[in-house]
Chains A and B, each alone.
Chain A
Amino acid sequence: MASASQSEIPELLQGTLDMLILKAVSVGPMHGYGILLRIQHFSRAALEIQQGSLYPAVYRLEHQELLTSEWGTSENNRRAKFYSLTPAGRRRLKEERESWSRLVEAISAVLDATPADLRA
């Protein structure tokens, strides 16, 4: 059986992974491997996505019609499936982004709290 910790991380990341993929594709159509590289690059190598979990997420987004795909040719002449955002995907990215900002703010507010805040 898979260990408990592994099964929890994707769960925690699931929503976030979707958001990261949408963001990565939003700067220009890209294939699966390229999406991984982009996320790694944008995060300054701080985030590494499990390769195996990328495709289920991408397929789910396509299933929800947030992404569309098209076969094309990569920079080094390999056939690859390129994903791009649909209008719905663009909207979703915006929403996810806003709710993420709110979450970060809220969590920061908690973490930044001092004893003085108790009286407020």
Chain B
Amino acid sequence: MIHRIRDSLRVLLDRRRFEREMDAELKSHIDLAADDLVSRGIPRDEALRRAHAAFGALEGAKDAARQARGVRWADELAGDLRYAFRTLRKSPGYAAVAIATLALGIGANTAIFSVVDGVLLKPLPFPESHRLVQVTTGYPLGAMWTYRTVPTSYAGVAAYDYGSHVNLFVKGEAERIQGRPVSAEFFSVLGVRAMVGRTFRVGEDAPGATAVAVISEGLWRRRFGANRGLVGQSIAIDGTPREVIGIVPRSFAFPAVGTDVWIPIGLDRKLVSSVWGAQNATLIGRLKPEVTVAQADAEHRAMITTVRESFPFKLPDIWGKHERNHVEALDAAIGESVQGRLTLLLAAVGLVLLVACVNVANLNLTRLAGREREVAVRQALGGSRLRVARQLVVEQLVLAAAGGLVGIGLALIGTPLLVHWLPPDTPRLDEVTIDPRVLGFTAIAILVAGLLASLGPLIRLPRAGRAELLGAGSRGSSAGQGRHRLLRALVGTEIALSVVLVIGAVILIRSLERLLAVDPGVVVERLTVARVTPNPNWCKDEAGPCTCPPGGAACRAFFPALEERLAALPGVRGVGLGSTLPLDGEYYTFPMSVEDHPITPTQPAPLLGSHTVSPEYFSVLGIPLLEGRAFDKTDRGPDNPVVIVSRALANRFWPGISAVGKHMKPVWMPKMATIVGVVGDARYVGLSVDTPTQDFYMPMEQWSVGSMLVALKTVARVGDLEATLRREVAAVDPTATVTQVRSMEDLLLASAASPRSTTTLIGLFAAIALVLGSIGVYGVLSYGVTQRRREIGIRMAIGAAPGAVKGMVLREAARLLAGGVVAGLGAAWLLASVLEGFVYGVSVHDPLTFAMVPLLFAAVGFAASYLPARRATRVSPTEVMREE
């Protein structure tokens, strides 16, 4: 097989030489034959004439020879292409509609695929990225000490922190930028080198090491004018002077797009609460070449006990033993959060392409009605059935290619919009481009679309006998009827596919509606929130572990001072400060000692949600105080630590009795804090989580943190609140930064960003499918009316009322819709379970949706049948008779 292709290619590549040699060979044949005749005494001229005659038709032989060398198909293909262009030019309307339909389908698929490819499929931009793995659950940073020494699966292990922002203070201007504390191995494990300077060395994350930082090419150009001399100089990050040791290229965006600075994570055994307190480190590793992910995973699971025992305090035996704690390929771990949604989108957009193809196939069938005679003539003139079929396929491929080109144009415009529309926390969005990989996918989509679109006419072709077709006119011949049946089947399919998409979209929309209607446990109106971060250097632990409160005097003084200034602003009715805000997504849990619930091997230290808040926090956010008291100005100093707990927490530990007066503390703290109040539950981790989280609140002046969210309750619309806020913050500390200024309503919307973007996109796809479906219905009904003009004319001539004729068309429409809708409902019912996990508060088999969508299709279908029905009543009997 291969040598035949090679031979054909050789011939095709030097086509002229092939023809020349063939001519020469045939000429020599004739000459040799003539020579023979001449040697028998026949004159030269006569000999040549006879030799020619004996050979027969020269051109026929040449053509057969070309075919034998496997090149005739190329000639024919060229002919088919020319023919396709000619016919399409002759019917520009048809071509435009078909190209537009396919462009929409192929363009949407290209755009969605470019996202899927960039986010999920492309290898990560690191050398030998298949060897990179990640532990899928957060570990306390202290686990690094174990991971550096114990496991044998890795060439290297590194850790990075969840925390992602730092204050940068350059030339009198404070800016909050994305910064990551990472372990010293971070860059070497990923295999990334600095473009200027170097990356971290072993030991640079240990206590006592020189403070250093690696910065991004982006930051280097933006803030430092791409000055190479920056390396070796010192910059202030979070108030600490750090020597810039290297600059990494822009293409490196890990662990998040837009990360501008990497600093060594503090692996200091003395910092108990930061090293062991929160599970906020992500471990990544580079496997040794021969080790598989499964082996590393097995080793990881076997090591859980070792890690648990490395803690400076005792943890329950079940610590770490949950399903989510395993080792996974890094690309899979990164894409995991969005894989389901993107796959759903790809499936939905695939359906749109299918609907588009069926629509074009439809169009082709109705158009074939007008070309019956042409096709029949071609067949009668000896065009083989295969040849005519190929002609049709080539034509459709030309259309699909044109549609594909327009579609690529649409995707080039649409992909950036799409990327913008996706939730900003979608990983690897910077890697989304229309590249050769994506274009390869588009090429496949074009091929599939072209073949699918030509399927309809192809099925009809073999039955279209020559004589029958030659005789067939616009009258309802049997071929016309058969085609009409196929047409109805295609439109039925199209409707069924649209029904599936529309039902999916409606269920998602209803789910989103429910989600946004959830009571978040806070009053969101007229609330503006912002993150304020003072010089973080002020807020560092000063005297090792277990100080209460941590942080220096300047840090403790900053937020109360700011609170006071903000409260005095005109138009501001309340100021609340919190380390976290409901719906913001940030959520930290601490292992806690709880009174009446001693920690035993079977009763682990419960992990409870920890929040540090100002006294006004609850009233400003509208979180109701249910029992006891809120914090007040007396709750300061280390002697009488107090906490307030959420209702869910109180109910868990002290069901039926009052929690007020009970005690609890983070396990590493020396002193129990007294519970002074119980407040209502607020949704911290997301709207869709119905089980309330168990939260405790500590007063800001007993437990200060370096960065707080400020919530301002205002009377009505207040002018430029952001500028005012920045001014007030700068007045307290010019190095403090203000970021993420937005209204609480925006925050609420943002918390539903991913269901919103998925729902909008699928809604858009469903709308496209619905429009295409109604065009299909319109097309087939119009065709039906044209086919039955004569019948309708006769009916009207013998006295049928226009209403009856209209009814005929509408009945046809109803039949069409009924079949498609029933099939679609069935398919949607079977497929609905793919939406499981994407919906909130509504069943994936939502009866209301399944009942209403058919009504929608009925309405759309009858709207689409209006014009054909009216046209049917306008059929003039006399005209029809005259046409005969």
Contacts from A to B (Cβ < 8 Å): 1, 31-34, 50-53, 55-57, 59-60, 62-65, 74, 76, 78-81
Contacts and interface: CB of A to CB of B under 8 A. Distances in A.
Contact of A52 (B24, B31, B55, B382): B55
Max chain B Cβ within 10 angstroms of own Cβ: one of A31, A51, A65, A76 = A51
B28 A80 contact: yes
B57 interface: yes
A56 B4 contact: no
B305 interface: no
A50 to B, nearest CB: 7
Given A56-B68, A78-B32, A65 B3 contact: yes
A28 B24 CA distance: 22
B670 interface: no
Majority secondary structure, B binding face = helix
Contacts of A1: 382
A65 B6 CA distance: 11
Contact of A78 (B21, B26, B35, B61): B35
Nearest to B53: A51
Interface in B4-38: 4, 7-8, 21-22, 24-26, 28-29, 31-33, 35
A67 to B, nearest CB: 11
B598 interface: no
A35 to B, nearest CB: 10
Rank and list the top 5 A-B pairs by shortest CB-CB distance, nearest first. Answer: A56-B64, A60-B68, A59-B68, A52-B56, A33-B32
A60 B54 CA distance: 22
A55 B7 contact: no
A56 B63 CA distance: 8
A33 B29 contact: yes
11 contacts: A31-B28, A34-B32, A50-B56, A51-B61, A52-B60, A55-B22, A56-B61, A56-B67, A60-B68, A62-B7, A80-B28
Nearest to B4: A63
A79 B23 CA distance: 12
Contacts of A34: 32
B33 A55 contact: no
A76 B35 contact: yes
Given A74-B28, A78-B32, A80-B32, 15 more contacts: A31-B28, A31-B32, A33-B33, A50-B56, A52-B58, A52-B61, A52-B64, A55-B22, A55-B62, A56-B61, A56-B68, A60-B68, A60-B69, A63-B7, A76-B35
B55 to A, nearest CB: 4
How many chain B residues sit at the interface, stated as a range, is: 20 to 34
A74 B68 CA distance: 25
A26 B75 CA distance: 33
B7 A78 contact: no
B312 to A, nearest CB: 78
Nearest to A80: B28
Contacts of B68: 55-57, 59-60, 63
A64 B4 contact: yes
Nearest to A1: B382
Contact of A81 (B21, B56, B58): B21
B70 interface: yes
A56 B60 CA distance: 10
Given A59-B68, A79-B24, A51 B56 contact: yes
Max chain A Cβ within 10 angstroms of own Cβ: one of B3, B35, B68 = B68
B65 interface: yes
B65 A55 contact: yes
Contact of A59 (B60, B65, B382): B65
Nearest to A79: B28
Nearest to A57: B68
Contacts of B4: 63-65
Majority secondary structure, A binding face = helix
B42 to A, nearest CB: 15
Contact of A63 (B24, B25, B60, B69): B69
Contact of B7 (A53, A56, A65, A80): A65
A9 to B, nearest CB: 14
A53 B33 CA distance: 16
B261 to A, nearest CB: 65
B218 to A, nearest CB: 59
A8 to B, nearest CB: 16
A81 B17 CA distance: 14
Nearest to A10: B64
A79 B55 CA distance: 19
Given A31-B28, A64-B4, A78-B32, A55 B64 contact: yes
A63 to B, nearest CB: 5
A87 to B, nearest CB: 13
B29 A32 contact: yes
A50 B22 CA distance: 18
Given A51-B55, A52-B57, A80-B25, A59 B69 contact: yes
Contacts of B25: 32, 55, 80-81
Contact of B32 (A50, A52, A74): A74
A34 B58 CA distance: 18
A65 B296 CA distance: 53
B70 A63 contact: yes
Interface string B63-91: 01101111000000000000000000000
Contacts of A32: 25, 29
Given A51-B54, A51-B56, A63-B4, A56 B32 contact: no
Contacts of A55: 22, 25-26, 61-62, 64-65, 68
A74 B36 CA distance: 12
Nearest to B39: A76
B31 A78 contact: yes
Contacts of B8: 63
B48 to A, nearest CB: 13
A55 B35 CA distance: 20
A34 B24 CA distance: 16
Nearest to B58: A52
Nearest to A50: B56
Contact of B28 (A57, A60, A64, A81): A81
A76 B68 CA distance: 29
A65 B5 CA distance: 11
A60 B57 CA distance: 19
Nearest to B382: A1
Contacts of A78: 28, 31-32, 35
